[in-house]
């Protein structure tokens, strides 16, 4: 059973550049979540998909952020015009069924540094 994978693992970019991250969930999981974690904090929810449908977006997800899951498999998270405040670990998680009795498993994360 292959776990959640994310690419790249590290990204350094200059302020104002666009970046895109990819997440591949566990193969049989139809739910995919994006979280962001800054130093000393717990992960914060950004958005989630059930299959290809984006069902919820946090108000943390400004207009510069967009996420897609076009075929209900992998997902991408794009940040446009990056700012230094976007520096964080971006975490992807997946789960199989949603609902209350459902566990989310995280990938290794993409660490973004904006200089």
Q: State the minimum distance, in angstroms, from the CB of residue 41 to other proteins.
A: 6
Binding stretches for other proteins (CB under 8 A): 31, 33, 35, 40-45, 48, 55-56, 58, 89, 91, 98, 100-109
Nearest to 111 by CA among 34, 7, 2: 7
Six token digits for residue 72: 């209900």
Percent helix, strand and coil across the chain, each to the nearest 5: 5, 50, 50
Q: State the minimum distance, in angstroms, from the CB of residue 101 to other proteins.
A: 6
Closer to other proteins by Cβ: residue 9 or 81:
9
Question: Angle CA(35)–CA(92)–CA(95) in degrees, nearest 5?
Answer: 105
Q: Is 2 helix (H, G, I), strand (E, B) or coil?
A: coil
Closer to other proteins by Cβ: residue 4 or 19:
4
Q: State the minimum distance, in angstroms, from the CB of residue 108 to other proteins.
A: 5
Closer to other proteins by Cβ: residue 3 or 16:
3
Closer to other proteins by Cβ: residue 2 or 14:
2
Nearest to 49 by CA among 104, 108, 110: 104
């Amino acid at each position: 059973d292959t776990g959640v994978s994310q690419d790249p693992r590290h990204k350094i970019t200059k302020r104002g550049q666009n970046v895109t991250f990819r997440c591949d969930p566990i193969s049989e999981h139809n739910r995919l979540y994006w979280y962001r974690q800054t130093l000393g904090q717990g992960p914060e929810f950004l958005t989630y998909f059930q299959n290809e449908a984006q069902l919820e977006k946090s108000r943390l997800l400004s207009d510069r952020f967009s996420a897609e899951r076009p075929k209900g498999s992998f997902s991408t998270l794009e940040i446009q015009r990056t700012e230094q405040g976007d520096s964080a670990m971006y975490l992807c998680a997946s789960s199989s069924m949603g609902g209350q009795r459902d566990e989310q498993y995280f990938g290794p994360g993409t660490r973004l540094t904006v200089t």
